[in-house]
Amino acid sequence: MGLEIIPVIDLRCRLVVRAVMGRRELYRPIETPLSGSANPEDVVRGLMTLYPFKTIYVADLDAIEGTGDNTRVVEKLRERFAHLDIWTDNGVATDDAIHAWLDEDRGTLVLGSESQATGAVARGFKDNPRLVLSLDFRGGAFQGPTELLDPTYWPDRVIAMSLARIGGAAGPDFERLGELRGLARRHGIYAAGGVRGREDLARLAEMGVKGALVATALHDGRLAGHEIAQFA
């Protein structure tokens, strides 16, 4: 029952913050038993004591919202945890910015649909293995240009991001995930938002979802290391 579990790190003002129903204005520095501080390196180190994850997803909220960036913080994480594949969503939306990222070998780049003006950028880079597309939804509304819902625009890996479920207890949006899974051809679909524990992960695996982005369930102790290992 294979399913890749990917911890999520939300960054604001150089600290890890805790998600609250996707309402970013309410995010505050995280308090977690896995770390004595909200320092990103401490939090990642704590996550690695829970389970030897291979991938971490980082959302640079300052960059996404256009209020600054945490570029150096992410670079330090890559230096300190060189064995990790770090997926970074920093609101990038231009060809030049993507080329710069790829040329500087900064790891895996996530293109968030909420940051895109058109589908052209995503389509132009869809064959690059270091690009991941995040299809962002808030409630029933898609955030971004609707052409990105066309699988011909998709790279190999696609995140189904349910923003309003992040940090909540409603569970994943299984209906939407099923729809996207039905559209997927060779694409791997990754669920993001609402994962509560092992039962949700088991259902996602049964659906053929490739992986799940998780944060709250890890910090709240609802997912233990031995449970994560069952999906390896």
**pLDDT of 62 strictly over 80:** yes
Cα–Cα dist 183/139, whole Å:
20
Q: How many CB atoms lie within 10 A of CB 21?
A: 16
Of the candidates 114, 113, 107, the one whose C-alpha atom is nearest the C-alpha of residue 122 is 113
**Whole domain around residue 87: which residue ranges?**
4-229
| Number of domains observed in the structure of the chain | 1
Q: What is the mean pLDDT of residues 150-161?
A: 97
Extract the tokens encoding 48.
């690695």
Of the candidates 103, 132, 164, the one whose C-alpha atom is nearest the C-alpha of residue 6 is 132
Residue 164 or residue 156, greater confidence: 156
21 pLDDT band, cuts 50/70/90, is low
CB neighbour burial string for 120-140, b if at least 16 within 10 angstroms, e if fewer: ebbbebbeeebbbbbbbbeee
22 pLDDT band, cuts 50/70/90, is low
The enclosing domain of 89 has a CATH number of 3.20.20.70
Per the CB < 8 A criterion, the answer to whether 137 and 161 are in contact is yes
Cα–Cα dist 197/199, whole Å:
6
Q: What is the mean pLDDT of residues 65-86?
A: 97
Cα–Cα dist 221/69, whole Å:
30
